[in-house]
Structure 1
Amino acid sequence: MKTSSFSTFTDVLSLSLTLLLLLSLPSPSLGAAKCNADDKKVLLQIKAGLNNPYLLASWTPDTDCCSWYALDCDSKTGRVIHLTIFDGNVSAQIPATIGDLPYLEMLDMNRLTNLNGPIPSSIAKLTNLNFLRLKSNRLSGVVPTFLSQLKKLTFLDLSFNFFSGSIPPSLSQLPNLLALHLDHNNLTGNIPDSFGSFAGNTPDLYLSNNFLSGQVPKSLGYVNFSSEIDLSSNNLVGDASFLFGKNKTVQFVELSMNSFQFDLSKVEFPDGLTNLDLSVNKIFGSLPAGLTKLNLQFLNVSYNSLCGQIPQGGKLQSFDSTAYDHNKCLCGAPLAAC
């Protein structure tokens, strides 16, 4: 499966959210509270449930758990609020006991070699959680509906795993969500119609590299994605032109590797659009002159059924011919003259 051309932006957004959460921690001091005894007991159970991996070697019963690697405590209460276990050799499932850290705000378990199995239902008990990243593991099963109970979530990333089945419509009930990453899995079925009516602001949406099918719900045309929508590398069909609009704020639109079919000449693009990938679809018509007014940093409309002269001006001639190749009858710089 291909990697999104906008992955750098995604990583920057993810890092920014992580840093904001870390900066919200109270400043450490000599009088900081020691680790809560109940949390310490749970952490040792989590370590055992992960088969005592080397990256948790500092988790020993005779030391204060607030000094352990891969976690942070609140300096006033000693309760564990951040758990960040990543880049290690782990062969286990997520321990159910992870749901027994009631003050946890951030759970980040990613790039663990063989972290497998389903997401345990006990995670629904973590009602203070605002950041959940389980990226780049070997997790499987369905995306659980109980995640919609975590009302404080601002960031949810389950990408690069083996989740299957359909996307739960109930995820739209998360009122504070800013970004939803379900890309690079084995998800099937339609994009939920409810994603056109999130309880709060519409989050940036990453659904690429799955097996989603059908048409994009019309409801998505009534919402405004603040930065990015990525539906690439699926089996989606029909009209997706309603995702655009002059007054929308979306900057990155990635629709490549589908079977979308609509007249591009009738599309009005947002003024702030900087990255557009429509390649490998069945899009027809001509390139609208409005594209010359955009500050495009990336453009790819190759492998479609477009015709006519490429408009002159703006950034359109700054891209090489590969951005326009394999269309029905496009012409003009950087392609051959009409």
Structure 2
Amino acid sequence: MISTHPPLMAISKAIIVFPLLCFLSSTISILCDPYPLVCNETEKHALLSFKHAFFDPAHSLSSWSAQENCCGWNGVRCNNITGRVVYLNLFNFGLVGKLSPALLQLEFLNHLNLGWNDFGGTPIPSFLGSMQSLTYLDLSFASFGGLIPPQLGNLSNLLHLRLGGADSSYEPQLHAENLRWISHLSSLKFLFMSEVDLHQEGQWIESTSILSSLSTLILKDCELDNMSPSLEYVNFTSLAVLSLYGNHFNHEIPNWLSNLTASLLQLDLRDNSLKGHIPITILELRYLNILYLSKNQLTGKIPEYLGQLKHLKALSLKYNSFDGPIPSSLGNLSSLRYLYLYGNRLNGTLPSSLWLLSNLKTLEIGNNSLVDTISEVHFNELSKLKYLDMSSTSLTFKVNSNWVPHFQLEVLLMSSCQMGPKFPTWLHTQTSLRNLDISKSGIVDIAPTWFWKWASHIKWIYLSDNQISGDLSGVWLNNTIIYLNSNCFTGHISRQRLERLVRDGEYYGRYDETRQNSGPFAKFLLECGIDARYTMLGTPQQNGVAERRNRTLLDMLRCMLSNFSLPEFLWGEALRIAAYILNQVPSKSVLKTPYELCAAEAWSGPITHSQRNLILKPSVDLGEASYVLGIKILRDRANGVLKLSQRAYIERILKRFNMHNCKSTKAPIVKGDKFSKAQCPQNDDEREEMKTIPYSSVVGSLMYAQRTSLLDVVGFCDADFAGCIDDKKSTTGYIFMMVGGAVSWKSVKQTLTASSTMEAEYVACYEACCHAMWMRNFISALGVVDSISRPLKLFCDNSAAVAFSKNTRSISRSKHMM
């Protein structure tokens, strides 16, 4: 008989498990339905005060609203239990302004990241040293300047500190008289300083080695000039990463580095003017996996004992003066992935052990005096190879025509190697290639039919100085920059296809390095019988490439749409409509005048514009003028003299404003004062009252006062960064002087929102240059100044804007400003 009842043990288990499940379910429901975190009200107001000290062109702080819970704001995190702000990460938010002391009210803040913002060269505030809870502080690449406050040494709980990365346009540069304050940061594990002037600090090793917990020390481009080579022992007990890139030590590699035996994993001493040999004490760093010694003045042979550093993954010795052969012991570095030996005086053949480095991804041995013959057998073990540079050597590359390599290269540089005479057919197997240089490689062959289609996916191709032949009539490359000069190509390249040979429609190689003579590409066009007609450099319509014009339009629209806070889902429609309107704008030619027909010379744009104005407005001949803009004209025809005088005009202005007997005094506006819209007349009574205040009329009248000088046109431009306190937009101002007096001027708010002082100044320079070109064309057409063909002078007081203006290349950061 079979029982249908459950066993007793099963019932007892159910009795025990059931209340346990009930307890767990109630606990889970409590954990899944907590009360929402509400941030501290005092800290919310502190963050809002902190926000108001910034100009936020990217609207990164748009979520920071008094009506919202600050624990949900962008870049803010709160403690899960107390609701106090513990984390503030504003990295790369594009903020412009100064640090507010309101941060001091965030008593429990332990993480503060303000990197990659713009603090306009202001000093790092000393009050940061009072924020005792900080364990992470990042102020790098934030355009701070001046002296680093030693009060930062009070942050005893700090684990991570990043400083520097200054904007060179701000003075003074971020600097420190000494680093003794760092020795008080007993818990510090990570220290990064970039472009911090430490040339006065001669005991930086003593100040940093006292930190027993320090594992990473990076002092990049800090003007250090001494590594204390006489020291025998330095107590960096926990140091794993030491990077001193870009300083000026100018002595041998110090022996004290061998003290860092057990801990050091990465050593970067690039670009330090180090001299002498690589010491054998380097073997003490037996766990080293990265060793960078490039861009120094090291001499002698590459030591064989480097092959004993079994853990090395990256070795860079390029741009030194090493001679002799490549040591065969490097083949013992089975973990090596990156080997850089470029730009030395190495000679001899390549060691066979070098081809056994199966983990190698990058091999740079170019620009040496190496002589060897390389076949496909050498590459059997290098299946991970991505970057191969054998350029400027005497190596011969001989492989079978049907060779299929095991690797997929991204960069292949074989210039001046012997690869010919046959065209290397194995290239078509390299589908990931971005850059290819096989110039001067002795190829005497016809370019295969597959090459042009394959090449359309490559960014840079150098085929120059070979004897490659083929018909270019069917060539169509998308965004490839290709150099074909000094070959035997034939065929006709249409204008449309010619523009596609280079990126963005620009003719690379139009001029040589002097910018005066025709370059290799221009000569190539001449040899092919191609009439190259160039348009103005830097214009969106250059070479007729419509795509570039639309890209410029896209950058402009992004800036404007972001400024007006238009929802992103409407941006595509706005771009489509703008492009449609731009393509529909007619460009009808103006009827030619008799002068244009006879002289085969067109009127300048300003003259045509003035002609139209004369047609629209009736004109009456009033005879010879006695006064023009307050200038009295005296004609002495007997002696052929024309005299100009402003005496009467200036006296009349002084009497008009009751200032003919006044003494000098200060201007009513103090330098640096800013007005807001609230200070403008708000009603009719105030507007009537403003009419009785003559200040603006005085300024306008005095602009016509001139002082005789050379017949030159000189311009002055300036910008008031974020001068409008209502919308934080900058103001452009410029004035042009001719024969010592003002002839044209303008002061107007900029239409875009500049994110830095340099950008505002650059926009002002751009607008002033546009007006200067108009003035030059107008005055040249009138013929009033013979020397107007010379370059106009435009003065700007911002060195960074001047340097940026001289850069003829258009980059993504500058498109929205032009």
Q: TM-score by structure 1 length?
A: 0.73
Aligned to 1:71: 217
Q: What are the equivalent positions in structure 2 for 1:1-338 lying under 5 Å apart?
A: 30=157, 57-60=203-206, 64-65=210-211, 71=217, 78-102=237-261, 103-113=263-273, 115-198=274-357, 200-222=358-380, 223-239=382-398, 245=404, 248-264=407-423, 266-269=425-428, 270-291=430-451, 292-294=453-455, 295-310=457-472, 312-313=474-475, 315=477, 318-319=480-481, 323-327=483-487, 329-332=488-491, 333=493, 336=528
Contact 1:240 1:262 in 2 (8 A): no
- Distance in 2 (CA, whole Å) between partners of 1:282 and 1:55 is 55
Gaps of 5+ in 2: 1-134, 137-155, 160-181, 184-198, 219-235, 499-524, 530-818
Aligned-pair CA distance for 1:285: 1.5
**Higher CA-based Rg:** 2
Question: Partner letter of residue 345 of structure 2?
Answer: N
- Distance in 1 (CA, whole Å) between partners of 2:392 and 2:436 is 15
- Distance in 2 (CA, whole Å) between partners of 1:279 and 1:241 is 20
Are the structure 2 counterparts of residues 264 and 160 from structure 1 closer, same or farther at C-alpha, using a change threshold of 3 Å?
same
**Which piece of structure 1 moves more, 80-89 or 102-111?**
80-89
- Distance in 1 (CA, whole Å) between partners of 2:434 and 2:402 is 15
Contact 2:214 2:238 in 1 (8 A): no
Aligned-pair CA distance for 1:221: 3.3
Are the structure 2 counterparts of residues 55 and 151 from structure 1 closer, same or farther at C-alpha, using a change threshold of 3 Å?
farther
Identity %: 25
Aligned-pair CA distance for 1:277: 0.3
Contact 1:133 1:158 in 2 (8 A): yes
Are the structure 2 counterparts of residues 302 and 310 from structure 1 closer, same or farther at C-alpha, using a change threshold of 3 Å?
same
Contact 1:268 1:290 in 2 (8 A): no
Aligned-pair CA distance for 1:59: 2.3
**Which piece of structure 1 moves more, 160-169 or 96-105?**
96-105
Are the structure 2 counterparts of residues 70 and 134 from structure 1 closer, same or farther at C-alpha, using a change threshold of 3 Å?
farther
How many pairs does the alignment contain? Answer: 285
Contact 1:193 1:217 in 2 (8 A): no
Contact 1:246 1:271 in 2 (8 A): no
Aligned-pair CA distance for 1:31: 8.8
- Distance in 1 (CA, whole Å) between partners of 2:398 and 2:321 is 29
Question: Partner letter of residue 220 of structure 1?
Answer: H
- Distance in 1 (CA, whole Å) between partners of 2:208 and 2:266 is 25
Aligned-pair CA distance for 1:257: 2.2
Question: Partner letter of residue 467 of structure 2?
Answer: S
Aligned to 2:506: none
- Distance in 2 (CA, whole Å) between partners of 1:237 and 1:90 is 40
Contact 2:275 2:296 in 1 (8 A): yes
Contact 1:197 1:219 in 2 (8 A): no
1:155-197 deviations in Å (ceiling 9; x for gaps): 1100110000000122122122111000011100112222222
- Distance in 1 (CA, whole Å) between partners of 2:295 and 2:347 is 19
Q: What secondary structure does 1:92 align onto?
A: coil
Question: Partner letter of residue 276 of structure 1?
Answer: L
| Structure showing the higher strand proportion among its residues | 1
- Distance in 2 (CA, whole Å) between partners of 1:260 and 1:218 is 13
Gaps of 5+ in 1: 1-26, 36-52
Question: Partner letter of residue 289 of structure 1?
Answer: T
Are the structure 2 counterparts of residues 177 and 242 from structure 1 closer, same or farther at C-alpha, using a change threshold of 3 Å?
farther
Q: What secondary structure does 1:91 align onto?
A: coil
Aligned-pair CA distance for 1:324: 1.2
Q: TM-score by structure 2 length?
A: 0.32
1:31-81 deviations in Å (ceiling 9; x for gaps): 97x99xxxxxxxxxxxxxxxxx86664223697245989827xxxx95111
Question: Partner letter of residue 444 of structure 2?
Answer: F
1:95-133 deviations in Å (ceiling 9; x for gaps): 2332221111011101113x1111011111211101100
- Distance in 2 (CA, whole Å) between partners of 1:262 and 1:296 is 23
- Distance in 1 (CA, whole Å) between partners of 2:208 and 2:336 is 39
Aligned to 1:38: none
- Distance in 2 (CA, whole Å) between partners of 1:130 and 1:219 is 29
Contact 2:237 2:260 in 1 (8 A): no
Question: Partner letter of residue 159 of structure 1?
Answer: K
- Distance in 2 (CA, whole Å) between partners of 1:242 and 1:149 is 39
